[in-house]
């Protein structure tokens, strides 16, 4: 009996939500959108308690393809832990939830509650680049599988409803609702912790482990559901979907630091934390990555807002992985040195 079955398989009521998942207009294009979000900025920014569930009223507006201004009432809520602390970030990541009745027929129809990945330090050009770098990583994973989060780049203007704070203009991106991600994949969002590697589907597991190694990310755990979403299908199989990549070596943010458990000096030092595989089992996973190399390399052209220096750094970092991947014996040693037998 599988782990997903042991913890109790819920009845999958997917008919309605699957329609909603496929109908998300927001993610039908990769083109950036201009949006204005009006809220009480001071209250939102001062909401630093990570246990807080305070909701902040807002109005979101954008200009549609016909040139009309579309305004939608929405609710914002600060989220996260590290980036929500004032000593780390001036502006917190937020949840964005449009009012359903007002969103019908707009870009925000059927989107559920979206994560909005925000600029941690508005006005800081380097932190602005982090947003674009992380977006590119989401897009890179999406080239490998549909079992990935959809994203949409946003050029956002935050306006203060109390007229006490100057407008903040910055880049951000929306991330698909996990419930709608699960429905799109024909399953449900599985929220129980404690899954081991043997409890999840092996192909997605191998893909996630190698991708996290490729981008130099150790900040994930399947057992703890840390930066990992599990989707359970009607056969109680668990599919692993990664998210949150700002602590990866490929982005290399100023605030990221290596996990002391791994005794590394920098987040750019790759450590493999996936399952154990010999060369024969590793080969089909690697071949899938290599088949998508040109597509992934081409993604840099899709984010022209990324500076040439940041693009160069990321390319060189990924090239180190591609060099390993083309020498399977070398990559297999990396896997053997760091792999986890039961889970992470």
What confidence tier does 75 reach under pLDDT thresholds 50, 70, 90? very high
| Residue that wins the pLDDT comparison between 204 and 19 | 204
Q: What is the mean pLDDT of the chain?
A: 93
C-alpha 302/C-alpha 287 separation (Å) is: 24
Backbone angles phi, psi at 55, to 5 degrees: -105, 140
Q: What per-residue confidence (pLDDT) applies to 19? A: 46
Q: Over 80: is that where the pLDDT of 176 sits?
A: yes
Q: Which residues, in sequence order, are bridge partners of residue 187?
A: 233
C-alpha 81/C-alpha 89 separation (Å) is: 11
What confidence tier does 72 reach under pLDDT thresholds 50, 70, 90? very high
272 near 282, Cβ under 8 Å? no
**What pTM did the predictor assign?**
0.94
83 near 120, Cβ under 8 Å? yes
| Residue that wins the pLDDT comparison between 202 and 11 | 202
Q: Which residues, in sequence order, are bridge partners of residue 226?
A: 221
Q: Going by DSSP bridges, is the β-strand pair 94-98/228-233 parallel, antiparallel, or unpaired?
A: unpaired
Q: Going by DSSP bridges, is the β-strand pair 69-78/94-98 parallel, antiparallel, or unpaired?
A: antiparallel
Task: Name the CA dihedral angle for 210, 216, 218, 221, rounded to a multiple of 10 degrees.
Answer: -40
Q: What per-residue confidence (pLDDT) applies to 23? A: 60
Q: pLDDT by residue (tens digit) across 78-101? A: 987 787 787 788 899 999 999 999
38: how many CB neighbours lie within 10 A of its CB?
18
Q: pLDDT by residue (tens digit) across 259-294? A: 889 989 999 999 999 999 999 999 999 999 999 999
Q: Going by DSSP bridges, is the β-strand pair 33-39/151-160 parallel, antiparallel, or unpaired?
A: parallel
C-alpha 198/C-alpha 3 separation (Å) is: 9
User: Mean per-residue pLDDT for 4-18?
Assistant: 56
Percentage of the chain exceeding pLDDT 70: 95
């Amino acid at each position: 009996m599988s782990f997903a079955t042991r913890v109790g398989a819920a009845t999958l009521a997917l008919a309605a939500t699957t329609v909603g998942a496929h109908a998300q207009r927001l993610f039908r294009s990769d083109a950036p959108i201009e949006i204005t979000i009006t809220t009480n900025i001071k209250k939102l920014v001062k909401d630093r308690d990570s246990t807080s569930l305070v909701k902040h009223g807002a109005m979101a507006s954008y200009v549609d393809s016909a040139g009309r201004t579309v305004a939608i009432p929405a609710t914002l809520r600060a989220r996260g832990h590290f980036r929500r602390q004032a000593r780390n970030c001036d502006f917190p990541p937020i949840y964005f939830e449009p009012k359903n009745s007002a969103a019908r027929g707009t870009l925000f129809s059927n989107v559920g509650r979206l994560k909005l990945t925000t600029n941690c330090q508005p006005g800081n050009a380097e932190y602005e680049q982090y947003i674009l770098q992380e977006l590119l990583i989401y897009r890179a994973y999406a080239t490998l599988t549909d079992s990935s989060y959809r994203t949409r780049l946003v050029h956002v203007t935050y306006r203060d409803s109390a007229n006490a704070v100057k407008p903040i203009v910055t880049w951000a991106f929306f991330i698909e609702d996990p419930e709608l991600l699960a429905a799109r994949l024909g399953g449900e969002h599985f929220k129980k912790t404690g899954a081991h590697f043997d409890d999840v589907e092996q192909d997605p597991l191998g893909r996630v482990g190698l991708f996290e190694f490729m981008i130099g990310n150790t900040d994930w755990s399947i057992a703890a559901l840390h930066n990992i979403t599990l989707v359970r299908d009607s056969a109680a199989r668990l599919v692993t979907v990664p998210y949150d990549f700002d602590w990866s070596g490929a982005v290399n943010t100023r605030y990221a630091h290596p996990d002391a458990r791994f005794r590394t000096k920098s987040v750019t030092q790759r450590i493999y934390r996936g399952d154990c595989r010999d060369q024969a089992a590793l080969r089909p996973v690697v071949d899938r990555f290599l088949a998508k190399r040109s597509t992934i390399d081409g993604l840099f052209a899709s984010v022209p807002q990324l500076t040439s220096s940041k693009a160069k750094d990321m390319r060189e970092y990924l090239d180190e992985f591609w060099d390993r991947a083309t020498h399977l014996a070398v990559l297999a040693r990396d896997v053997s040195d760091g792999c986890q037998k039961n889970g992470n």
